[in-house]
Chains A and B, each alone.
Chain A
Amino acid sequence: MDLSVIDWSDIWIATWETLVMTGVSLFFTILLGLPLGILLFVTAKRQLLEQGFVYTVLSFVVNVLRSVPFLILLIVMIPVTVILIGTSLGVEGAIPPLVVGTAPFFARLVENVLREVDRGVIEACQAMGIRTHRIIFGALLPEALPGLIAAVTVTAITLMSYAAMSGVIGGGGLGDLAIRFGYQRFQTEVMVITVALLVVLVQIIQYSGDRLVLYFTRK
């Protein structure tokens, strides 16, 4: 293996692009997925704001989006992405499909985390005469915080691998580099380095997430 063929500045730019894609799409994934997950939880049967119809509709939409393989979603989303931000290429072009692909996944994770919160605690809040929105934001979410952080961690890692996949349709970042140089030009060295960098990034995300979970766990 000859590392001298590698253009390191390309690698660092691609790494930065991967981090930007992951970070920005994580932000929007949380922005959309967290409220969606909360809605799924509170409208479910025997929950705070039981709404059978709303739950069924939301749940169906989430399932539909989750059943589309991400590679297909990348392609299907191209016209939508062009309308939204003017291009379907590069770092910006990858973000809308990333968000649409992971927000429903994150919403399901949020729903499951919220279900783990002790029912008795929520009931105690109801018995105090506290309004539902205060219970959700003042008790339910703080109680679920460690679980929510763990869900964000899992989602961030999923996003990073999806971001790499977006290289196939011309998204930026390490995935793009691996496909253009490592695959199409047979530069094995580039492939090895990008994979190694992705492994390191995932480790860092997982480790930081675990530390945060521990920090916020009061049990």
Chain B
Amino acid sequence: MIRIENLRKTYRAADGREVEALTDINLEIGTGEVFGIIGRSGAGKSTLIRTLNLLERPSAGRVLVDGEDITTLDSEGLYALRRRVGMIFQHFNLLNAKTVADNIDWPLKATGQGNAAERAARVKELLALVGLSEQGHKYPSQLSGGQKQRVGIARALANRPQLLLCDEATSALDPETTQSILRLLLDINRQLGLTIVLITHEMQVIRTICDRVAVIDGGRIVESGKVVDVFLHPQHPVTRSMVAQSDALAAASFAPAHAYMSDKLRGTLVRLTYIGDVTYQPILSRIMAGAKVQVTILQGEVSSIKDVPFGQLLLELEGGEDDIRAVFAELDRHQIHHEVLQ
């Protein structure tokens, strides 16, 4: 669906210096995928997503959408591309002077799609899709933040795009509303087969709906891959610190338990990570039943990332070196990742 090749973006700062906002970005995003880009503020994520519909023009490199290099499009081609690519925004960017229904109708009307009756039918359909059938006559100022973003989504879908760009779409919303908007996006992704690219600074967003993630820092992609892999086995320091700061994956950091336990520890401190079906099987009990090792669970989490269940446990193992090694061998056999911390 999308291929970004050697993308670079520099701009001239107020004092005349060249600032490099994006450096050597390479990404591939598949059709129907929910792809997240996470980074701290100023990391370049917003600039990056805006190159996908050329709101931001790259300084070098290529951006291919459906095999077509969009950086070479003329203005007609660019209009056409933008009609195929929906976008939603952190601050919704609705037209305050138009009703909800007219906001959704606007991209259709302004690009000359269909007659009034056809458009009205489409608007009705979209209002129903985002759960706002009763709100069509209202003005945006009469809606809550979550409802405004629903209007934003309906408007972005009006032209039946194949790709939806979400620019910090939930960052201005409270956690509960964030979850409902994310559920809506996931529904749309599944129902319509829409490819979604989103940027966020919230781990929770990535974890809830993304299939794959890229971590961006200082204008470079420092890590990317499946969400479970990146979050459960973070490699880059930035990813690690983001994972550690996130409540969602508290077990990954083990900081509190670690500080409390460090002087009382007798055995070996081990972190287990397991993904998939194994999460809901009594493997640990089976392994431990046959082992001459005492096990204490210090901290743990069993949850899921999008649809993939995972578990993370911090264990203290007490026993002979050989016995512990035997336990490790059993863990390996069941594809449970283990890491000795101390």
Expressed in whole angstroms, the Cα–Cα distance for A130 and B85 within the complex equals 12
- B214-246 residues with Cβ-Cβ distance < 8 A to A are none
B82 CB contact (under 8 Å) in A118, A121, A126, A143:
A126
The reply to whether A124 and B89 contact each other, CB–CB distance below 8 Å, is yes
Distance in angstroms from B26 CB to nearest chain A CB is 24
Residues of A within 8 A of B97 (CB): 142-143, 145, 216, 218
Distance in angstroms from A133 CB to nearest chain B CB is 10
Looking at chain A, what size class is its interface with the partner chain?
A: 20 to 34
The reply to whether B111 and A124 contact each other, CB–CB distance below 8 Å, is no
Q: Given the interface contacts A129-B80, A218-B139, does A123 sit within 8 Å of B98 by beta carbon?
A: no
Asked whether B83 is an interface residue with its Cβ less than 8 Å from the other chain, the reply is yes
Q: Given the interface contacts A121-B93, A142-B98, A218-B96, does A130 sit within 8 Å of B110 by beta carbon?
A: yes
Most buried by A among B83, B85, B93, B94: B93
Asked whether B295 is an interface residue with its Cβ less than 8 Å from the other chain, the reply is no
Residues of A within 8 A of B98 (CB): 142
Asked whether B107 is an interface residue with its Cβ less than 8 Å from the other chain, the reply is yes
Expressed in whole angstroms, the Cα–Cα distance for A21 and B176 within the complex equals 59
Q: Given the interface contacts A123-B55, A218-B141, does A128 sit within 8 Å of B94 by beta carbon?
A: no
Q: Given the interface contacts A128-B111, A138-B110, does A143 sit within 8 Å of B96 by beta carbon?
A: yes
Q: How many residues of B contact A (CB 8 A)?
A: 29
Residues of A within 8 A of B110 (CB): 125, 128, 130-131, 134-135, 138-139
Asked whether B87 is an interface residue with its Cβ less than 8 Å from the other chain, the reply is yes
Q: Given the interface contacts A125-B110, A138-B106, does A120 sit within 8 Å of B79 by beta carbon?
A: no
The reply to whether A120 and B139 contact each other, CB–CB distance below 8 Å, is no
Asked whether A219 is an interface residue with its Cβ less than 8 Å from the other chain, the reply is yes
Main secondary structure of the interface of A (DSSP, over half): helix
Most buried by B among A121, A124, A130, A138: A124
Asked whether A3 is an interface residue with its Cβ less than 8 Å from the other chain, the reply is no
Asked whether B91 is an interface residue with its Cβ less than 8 Å from the other chain, the reply is yes
Query: What 1/0 flags go to B60-89 for Cβ under 8 Å of A?
Result: 000000000000000000111111010101
Residues of A within 8 A of B80 (CB): 129
Asked whether A127 is an interface residue with its Cβ less than 8 Å from the other chain, the reply is yes
The reply to whether B87 and A124 contact each other, CB–CB distance below 8 Å, is yes
The reply to whether B55 and A127 contact each other, CB–CB distance below 8 Å, is yes
Distance in angstroms from A14 CB to nearest chain B CB is 40
Other contacts beyond A128-B83, A128-B159: 6, CB < 8 A: A118-B91, A120-B89, A129-B82, A218-B96, A218-B139, A219-B96
* 5 A-B pairs whose Cβ atoms sit less than 8 Å apart in the complex: A120-B93, A124-B87, A127-B85, A131-B110, A218-B97
Which 10 pairs from chain A and chain B are nearest by CB?
A129-B82, A124-B93, A129-B83, A120-B93, A128-B107, A142-B97, A127-B87, A130-B110, A129-B79, A134-B110
